[in-house]
């Protein structure tokens, strides 16, 4: 193709990013997702997936997918509002509504699209969206798509959330938006306090439970269940199905009015092809496993406790997280990359996260656990960390 008129500017920007140690690249995995994966010609012990319950390659889920492909084909062939909404999609929406305790659920193709759609579909000029500064990029982008006023508060700072709500008092409608389980620090949003402020200021609440759904709460029902908030008091919830659930897509769970409004006004729902029906069929089976197999969440907690005890003995700087997301703070970008590379030399893969994804001077190893890991895997990780830090 012809060169972009700003070709030289992009080339310089990429070179600058490389020099700063912040250049992103794909890694080619061969074969199934799991704790032992094939990267090129190497077999790696992975601690950087979001397959928290170890369901991504579960035989029963794969079988459900295959059977649905034989019955329904591969592509849905249309948007939900045309002819793309299959029996499996409908069954999954009903099952998710029952699972979450909400009146209705609406399926989206991805979590990113769900977050864009619910914010843009509910807010307009004269409204205000108030967001935690550490919210996922899709939530922040969803706010930017609207004509609503944008306000942000420091992470989990309820006194400043109160102040932002006071500053937005003249807005026609106010929506507080927060991650449920934050993806970089692994902490859980103070949802009871958020809900109390929402009642005080007559605001609505949206929780993106991408990393909490399936992992925390009764039967894996997420952040709302974790805090034992009654269904009739619950916020709007976005959940993803490609992480702990092991399949793909996302949903919005809310009351009848909100869902019907999104069907009319959420552009990322209306103007896109529905996810393949086989994904929905596989998710129906996965949800049964999520609810019934509590041992997966119990296993996760045991592994997390084992890791934290060992990491503290090594003197590593941890965050106060008891979730599968366990950050180890390094600080310097290049040092974090070096430690990550030393771990990979020992056959262990972890996420190395640098600014701008996280704040400056908080570059970190982002270690994530799966119920498919073993105690021996964690022991191996701890030994490798000790050796990587010793260089």
183 is catalytic: yes
Catalytic residue among 80, 89, 201, 211: 211
In angstroms, the CA 261 to CA 99 distance is: 22
**Angle between helical axes of 111-122 and 256-265 (0-180°, round to 10):** 100
Helices (H), ranges, the chain = 7-19, 59-72, 87-100, 111-122, 137-145, 158-167, 191-200, 223-226, 256-265, 267-270, 277-292, 295-313, 333-345, 375-390
24 annotated binding-site participant: yes
- Residue 183 is labelled as binding a ligand: yes
Of the residues 46, 243, 268, 370, which is catalytic? 243
> Per-residue DSSP letters for 60-79?
HHHHHHHHHHHHH-S---SB
| Residue 211, annotated as binding a ligand | yes
SS3 content of the chain, % helix, strand, coil (to 5): 45, 20, 35
Q: List the catalytic residue out of 109, 138, 178, 183.
A: 183
Q: Which residues contact 140 (CB under 8 A, 6 or more apart)?
A: 131
DSSP 52: T
380 annotated to a ligand binding site: no
- Three-state SS for 159? helix
On whether 373 is known to bind a ligand per the annotation, the reply is no
Q: Residue 269, annotated ligand binder? A: no
Whether 211 sits among the annotated catalytic residues: the reply is yes
What is the rounded distance in angstroms from the CA atom of residue 239 to the CA atom of residue 130? 20
Q: Does 136 appear as a known binding residue?
A: yes
Q: Do the annotations mark residue 201 as ligand-binding?
A: no
- The SS3 of residue 203 is coil
- Within 106-226, residue ranges assigned H as helices are 111-122, 137-145, 158-167, 191-200, 223-226
- Catalytic residue set: 183, 211, 243
Binding-site annotation, residues for pyridoxal 5'-phosphate: 111-112, 183, 211, 240
Residues of each annotated binding site for substrate: 24, 136, 357
Show binding-site residues.
Answer: 24, 111-112, 136, 183, 211, 240, 357
């Amino acid at each position: 193709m012809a060169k972009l008129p700003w070709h030289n500017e992009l080339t310089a920007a990429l070179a600058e990013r490389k020099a700063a140690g912040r250049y992103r690249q794909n890694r080619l995995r061969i074969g199934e997702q799991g704790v032992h994966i094939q990267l090129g010609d190497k077999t790696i012990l992975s601690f950087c997936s979001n397959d928290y319950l170890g369901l991504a390659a579960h035989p029963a889920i794969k079988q459900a997918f295959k059977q649905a492909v034989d019955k329904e084909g591969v592509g849905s062939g249309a948007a939900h509002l045309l002819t793309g909404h299959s029996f499996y999609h409908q069954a999954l929406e009903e099952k998710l509504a029952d699972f979450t305790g909400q009146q209705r659920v609406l399926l989206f193709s991805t979590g990113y699209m769900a977050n864009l759609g619910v914010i843009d579909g509910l807010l307009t000029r004269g409204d205000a969206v108030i967001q935690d500064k550490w919210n996922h990029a899709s939530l922040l982008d969803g706010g930017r798509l609207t004509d609503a006023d944008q306000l942000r508060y420091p992470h989990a700072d309820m006194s400043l959330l109160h102040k932002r709500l006071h500053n937005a008092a003249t807005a026609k409608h106010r929506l507080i938006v927060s991650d449920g389980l934050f993806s970089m620090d692994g902490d859980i949003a103070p949802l009871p306090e958020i809900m109390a402020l929402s009642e005080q200021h007559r605001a609505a609440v949206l929780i993106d439970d991408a990393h909490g759904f399936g992992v925390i709460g009764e039967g894996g029902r997420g952040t709302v269940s974790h805090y034992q908030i009654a269904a009739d008091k619950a916020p709007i919830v976005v959940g993803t199905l490609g992480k702990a659930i092991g399949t793909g897509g996302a949903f919005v769970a809310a009351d009848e009015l909100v869902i019907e409004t999104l069907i009319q006004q959420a552009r990322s729902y209306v103007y896109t092809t529905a996810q393949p029906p086989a994904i929905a069929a596989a998710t129906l089976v996965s949800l049964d496993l999520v609810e019934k197999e509590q041992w997966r969440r119990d296993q996760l907690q045991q592994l997390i406790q084992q890791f934290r005890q060992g990491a503290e003995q090594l003197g590593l700087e941890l965050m106060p997280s008891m979730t599968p997301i366990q950050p180890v703070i390094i600080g310097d970008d290049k040092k974090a990359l070096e430690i990550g590379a030393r771990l990979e030399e020992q056959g262990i893969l972890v996420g190395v996260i640098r600014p701008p994804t996280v704040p400056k001077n908080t570059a970190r190893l982002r270690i994530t656990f799966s119920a498919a890991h073993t105690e021996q895997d964690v022991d191996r990780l701890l030994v490798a960390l000790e050796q990587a830090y010793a260089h």
